[in-house]
Amino acid sequence: MSMSACRVTPFSAGLQFTRKDVHEPPADTAVDNKSGVSDGEPQAAGRTPVREEARCFESEEERLLWKAARLRHSIETDLVPRQELAERALRHGRRQLVKLQRLLPSAAFLTFRQKCAAWCDRLRLFEELVVRTMLREAVDGAARSGDVKAPARWRKSNQWPAITNFLELQLHLCFAVKGSAAVEASSPEQSTRENSAVYRHLAAIWAAQQERLLTCDLLHRYYTLRDILHGWGNAWHVRASCADDGDNVSSTARSRLPHEPDGSCICPFTAWESLSEVDRLTSYSKICSHHLTEDVVECLEALMFTHFADVWCHVESVMSGVST
């Protein structure tokens, strides 16, 4: 057999890198990819990857060209699609962020919300202070009348009721005062008689408060104010804007709650100037975020104090008396 017949094509001939290989990898590279040799691809089960050390390169240039072909193919088949997916997700996220920003009200309203929540907490503290003061007066009155022998011990015991607001006080007295006179006369236990006496004095003090200071009209206005503060500070939630193309307001656009009938939640901003003070203050369930501008917020904050001036006057008198 002649030497020419035994001559075979050099192994390195299949590793030559040309411009065409950027889009169509060499045959041996494609085989390697099927075997799971490409960078970042898990190895196929039961197959041994062809490592770079197992290849024969005629020169360092051939080795580098082979590695470059594999790297470019890996970038085109793996990294480029992943980058495109990431860019699409980023663009979608930016579009969603722009939509959310359009739903947000002004910074002045967000500050106003925080103020309303703080004012609501102040009203709760006011109620608790009034109730605690009446409890102390009831114990002192029972002690002066001789119904309570040791008021200090009674205050420290578990008999002191956990009452923090006017509603709890009213409900507690409805159950505690009923038949208290009969209990005081018939009960052999000193603690039971003392409790009944304290609640009897407390009921008398509460009735006097309602006649002189906390009248029915004042309590009605107080609870209205508290509901409004809670509405703006805690119950308000973002609604879809009723504005189309800037400041053009659509008469049909609305944001409706599931339990409300059609037309009950149309944004009242178009008739803002003609609304009464109470309607403006209670518009937290209807007005959209787009119209909660700085001017509207200033109007609401001013009405909060001018419309309920008598309530705030009584609240501040109690709070200032405690602080001094």
pLDDT at 183 over 60: no
For 133-154, b/e burial (b = at least 16 CB within 10 A) is: ebbebbbebbbeeebbeebeeb
pLDDT tens per residue across span 119-167: 999 999 999 999 999 999 999 999 998 888 878 776 776 667 788 999 9
Considering just the CA atoms, what is the radius of gyration of the chain in Å?
40
From residue 147, alpha-carbon distances to 137, 150, 155, 162, 280 in Å are 13, 9, 14, 21, 52
* Residue 230 predicted with pLDDT over 70: yes
Q: Is the pLDDT score of 225 beyond 90? A: yes
Which residues does 241 contact at the CB level (< 8 Å), separation at least 6? 102, 103, 288, 289, 290
* Token pair 């509603």 in the structure block, residue: 167
pLDDT at site 73: 86
Residue 145, SS3 per DSSP: coil
pTM score, two decimals?
0.64
